[in-house]
């Protein structure tokens, strides 16, 4: 308030001084104009001063700004399958992954459940099906799997070939127990580019409620579950005796290569409890393979069951 009075007094002095120093004016002011002008001007100055005074924020201690924690989506190391695909494959590829670009030499890392024969066969195959390298190894059977590393060297005539790695195991009477393959790109020059394994660490076949040595009765094996096809070729389901003779088979056709449900039955006739190997297998007819035993197999899953009259 004191500041406003000082401003008003200064203005009055200025106006009076100006009025005295001016000898003539083009237009004489009315007698009561000068006090009115002084009052109006003073009010404007006071209003401006108050506005400036109020615009200055009061002094206070700044409060820290709370920044919300960032939320990130944690990527899954592998895509999520439909419920049920949680059983690790008997032949599990750890590195390299599918469609890796490989140069010679390279290391193959796996976790293997050897068949009952305790022998595993590992093949590196070229585009025309020729065997570039084969390893046959004795391996004690461990149902939880055993880590195994293999070193491969190869020579190819072209700059690149679409090859694949194939691993197979047999049971104690020589029937194929498991087969799995991994498509890769082989390069004669350049540098390797290794992809992650993704979902190839899981079995492609899930049968609900099926356990090793499961018993079936009344001449029928009823199956229901899900399959993740390797390709668009049919999946063959068979019951094979210990002598290697198929006694029942079914062909399952699928639309595309996404995981899909299936339900089927395999009829059989036995006069006494009979051990059989229930087998799911899929082939790739586009592969040129000269192997008479494995042929064009790209995947095989099996389990021992007992057939009762």
The residue extents of the domains of the chain are: 91-307
Residues 208-232: what's their mean pLDDT?
94
Distances in Å between the alpha carbon of 209 and those of 72, 215, 224, 225, 303? 38, 12, 9, 9, 13
Confidence of residue 287 (pLDDT cuts 50, 70, 90): confident
Are residues 89 and 180 in contact, defined by beta-carbon separation less than 8 angstroms? yes
Are residues 97 and 197 in contact, defined by beta-carbon separation less than 8 angstroms? yes
Residue whose tokens read 């880590």? 147
Q: What is the mean pLDDT of the chain?
A: 80
Say what the pLDDT of residue 173 is. 96
Residues 2-23: what's their mean pLDDT?
44
Fold of 91-307: Immunoglobulin-like (2.60.40)
pLDDT of 21 strictly over 80: no
Residues 7-34: what's their mean pLDDT?
44
Say what the pLDDT of residue 82 is. 52
Rounded distance, CA 229 to CA 274, Å?
Answer: 30
Instruction: Indicate whether this model's pTM tops 0.75.
Output: no
Question: In terms of Cα–Cα distance, which of 227, 244, 223, 221 is closest to 299?
Answer: 227
Are residues 239 and 272 in contact, defined by beta-carbon separation less than 8 angstroms? no
Are residues 64 and 151 in contact, defined by beta-carbon separation less than 8 angstroms? no
Q: Which two tokens stand for residue 108?
A: 């193959």
Say what the pLDDT of residue 8 is. 44
Are residues 215 and 201 in contact, defined by beta-carbon separation less than 8 angstroms? no
Residues 104-116: what's their mean pLDDT?
96
């Amino acid at each position: 308030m004191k500041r406003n009075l000082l401003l008003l007094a200064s203005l009055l002095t200025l106006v009076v001084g100006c009025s005295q120093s001016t000898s003539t004016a083009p237009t004489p002011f009315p007698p009561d104009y000068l006090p009115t002008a002084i009052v109006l001007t003073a009010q404007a100055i006071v209003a401006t001063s108050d506005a400036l005074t109020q615009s200055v924020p009061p002094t206070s201690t700044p409060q820290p700004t709370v920044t919300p924690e960032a939320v990130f989506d944690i990527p899954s190391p592998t895509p999520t399958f439909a419920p049920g695909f949680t059983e690790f494959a008997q032949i599990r590829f750890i590195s390299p992954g599918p469609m890796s670009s490989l140069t010679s030499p390279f290391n193959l890392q796996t976790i293997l459940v050897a068949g009952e024969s305790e022998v595993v066969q590992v093949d590196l195959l070229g585009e025309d099906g020729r065997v570039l390298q084969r390893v046959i190894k004795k391996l004690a059977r461990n149902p939880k799997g055993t880590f195994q590393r293999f070193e491969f060297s190869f020579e190819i005539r072209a700059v690149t070939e679409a090859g694949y790695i194939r691993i197979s195991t047999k049971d104690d009477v020589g029937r194929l127990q498991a087969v799995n393959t991994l498509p890769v790109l082989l390069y004669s020059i350049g540098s390797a580019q290794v992809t992650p394994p993704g979902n190839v660490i899981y079995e492609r076949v899930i049968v609900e409620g099926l356990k090793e040595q499961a018993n079936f009765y009344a001449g029928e094996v009823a199956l229901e579950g899900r399959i993740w096809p390797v390709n668009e070729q049919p999946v063959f389901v068979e019951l094979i005796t210990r002598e290697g003779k198929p006694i029942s088979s079914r062909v399952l056709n699928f639309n595309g290569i996404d995981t899909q449900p299936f339900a089927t039955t395999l009829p059989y006739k036995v006069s006494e409890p009979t051990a059989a190997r229930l087998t799911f297998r899929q082939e790739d007819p586009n592969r040129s393979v000269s192997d008479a035993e494995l042929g064009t197999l790209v995947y095989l899953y099996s389990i021992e069951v007992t057939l009762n009259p």
